Amino acid sequence: MTQNQQQRDGSMGEALKVTRLYWSVQQQAILSNVSFSLQQGEMLGLIGPNGAGKSSLLRCLYRYISPDRGQITLFGEDISRISQKHLATKVAVVQQETPHYFAMSCEQIVAMGLTPHKGLFETDTQADKHNVMKALDKVGLALKASQQYEQLSGGEKQRALIARAIVQKPQLLILDEPTNHLDIRYQIQILELVRQLGISVIASIHDLNLASAVCDRLLLLNQGACIAQGLPDQVLTEQIIGDVFGVCCQVNRHPQHGKPLITYFYGYQDEHPHHQTRQQDNKEGI
């Protein structure tokens, strides 16, 4: 049985399981009864409008915040019982906002991914340095290795942080808007690279067509609740997109990969007749 077949029938086992997760701030519900699982080697796309709770959910997963209720297990172990150091050997995170690292080169930033696997006084080996340069090359930054991190563009900083995550060699990679600062070429290239790592990945992605193309399954959040989850075909329907995002669209098949391809209709400010027609069609299930 191939790895892809194992992923489809779930025989590789669960990498991550979230059960009835709740989190609130000042009595305002941010996450409400969220449950889902991620299979080993699977790429799960987290989608939803702004303010849906995507980043809050991811922060619960890497223990930046603690949920009010619910359980999160990583490879069958409750994450609340895993030490921070041990968690860092299993989980790598690329956050939405790029942090500031003054007086550090791009290469030094990427080498930080080695830290969870090192002892207190252990130094980097030649093999470590080779892996760092290999990761830089994968994200197209080999020629910027010695450049100061703060001098990189927003997109280059994001790629450097993804290279750091690659060096960390995690079993689970959590990405919060990883393509936020990237042009379209690197959006596709980085997510295809992440997919090819052969590890479990959960990534919040704004671009629905990009999420459809690269993810095995999708989890749709709205107002902190899980609205739909499953294959892109099951989640990205005209009805669901219209209800959650408030737009009219047409869903067809992509000519290359065959997954849903969304075409949006315009004219919301003008109440365009075609927009109204599509909206009525969606409501009537046409």
| Cα–Cα dist 225/10, whole Å | 24
CA proximity to 73, closest of 30, 24, 40: 40
Topology annotation, domain 3-236:
Rossmann fold (3.40.50)
pLDDT, position 12: 64
Amino acid (1-letter code) at residue 220: L
Going from N- to C-terminal start, the domains of the chain cover 3-236, 237-286
| Cα angle value 165/188/141 (rounded, 5°) | 50
CA proximity to 44, closest of 244, 235, 253: 235
pLDDT tens per residue, range 157-197: 888 999 999 999 999 999 999 888 788 988 998 899 899 88
| Cα–Cα dist 167/113, whole Å | 5
Mean local confidence (pLDDT), 83-93: 92
| Cα angle value 229/253/2 (rounded, 5°) | 65
Mean local confidence (pLDDT), 116-141: 90
